[in-house]
Amino acid sequence: MRQGTKPLREGSKLDLPLILAAAFAVLDTHGFDGLSLRLVAKHLEVQPPALYWHVRNKAALINLMAGTFSDYAALSKIGGRDWREKLTLFARGMREVMMRHRDAARLSLAAQPTHDPADVAQRLAAPLMESGLSARQAVSYHASVIAYTLGWVAYEQSQSMHDFLARMINFTESFENGLQAMIDGFRGPS
């Protein structure tokens, strides 16, 4: 059992935050390929059917886990004087939280969208539109930053690529250089 999550004690209430903490402990120990509801239940010292009150299946668990990365780095929660700084802070936050967990990029890529695209677009765009971007620019720029960050983390978490690249670059410095080049290339409000 990994430090940071504890088995469910008799009389304790099983809830989604506890399940997610256990799922991340399993992910960190066994990797994406080893993630299963059976192992999450074992980690919590409950029977697997106890999880189904909260999580329908493994796909739903993956969706919830991946959602925590963007929730953590949500534009609506971060500061930033303008849209460029907001995007920069978002990418840094997303990378930071994803790097805390083994195979976070693979997990994110396996997640399936479950929300209405129009609602997601509005939620993503709103903080950037406050800084003067059009809705179209805001969604496009945000999506580009997500794709860049997710791809970067995938390289950084791939053991073979990590070892290869580590001999040539500083990951944080190179991430920042690429991120700033991308954001600097975005046109301002139109």
Q: Where are the domains of the chain?
A: 16-55, 67-185
Give the pLDDT confidence of 155-182 residue by residue, as tens digits: 999 988 889 999 999 999 999 999 999 9
- State the alpha helices, DSSP H only, in the chain: 16-34, 37-44, 58-72, 83-98, 104-110, 117-129, 135-157, 159-166, 171-185
Tell me, which fold does domain 16-55 have in CATH?
Answer: Arc Repressor Mutant, subunit A (1.10.10)
Q: What CATH number was assigned to the domain covering residues 67-185? A: 1.10.357.10
Provide long-range contacts, Cβ within 8 A and 24+ apart, for 111-117: 111/62, 111/63, 111/65, 111/66, 111/67, 112/59, 112/62, 112/63, 114/63
Give the pLDDT confidence of 118-144 residue by residue, as tens digits: 888 888 888 899 989 999 999 999 999
CB contact at 8 A, 17 and 35: no
Is residue 76 over pLDDT 70? Answer: no
